[in-house]
Homo-oligomer: A and B are copies of this chain.
């Protein structure tokens, strides 16, 4: 069993708020992140998969294929987008880093299975001071 991690990046706008809150309530709970006119981040995404090394290639997975899966199913949907308004898998959810990590996991997992590997961790870095890791429902 070995783990391999691929980093990809995306830049996006978002806002933390609840429609059933007033602007004042949103400010109290979400602080500056509730700004109604949006703000944004350079997000870093680290996707870790695990499994056995394929003796024929020396690879756990072909990183080009893993990178393509992440770009096709996640980066394409998030990069240079507004997470609240334009990202289908984030509709009806607060656009927090926590929900983003879970949402990305759900987008990726079906496609990782085709690689003879298992999705192990989705890590989303929002800033140099904050990041979230999600290991799926069954782990931990």
A contact set with B: CB distance below 8 Å: 1-9, 11-14, 16, 18, 29-33, 35, 37-42, 48, 50, 53, 56-60, 62-64, 67, 79-82, 85-86, 93-99, 101-102, 127-135, 139-140
Contact = CB atoms under 8 A, between A and B. Distances in A.
Given A5-B133, A39-B80, A53-B102, 19 more contacts: A2-B101, A3-B135, A4-B132, A5-B132, A7-B129, A7-B130, A8-B129, A12-B40, A14-B40, A16-B58, A18-B56, A35-B81, A38-B40, A39-B81, A40-B40, A42-B127, A42-B128, A58-B99, A59-B94
Contacts of A53: 96, 98-99, 102
A99 B16 CA distance: 28
A57 B96 CA distance: 8
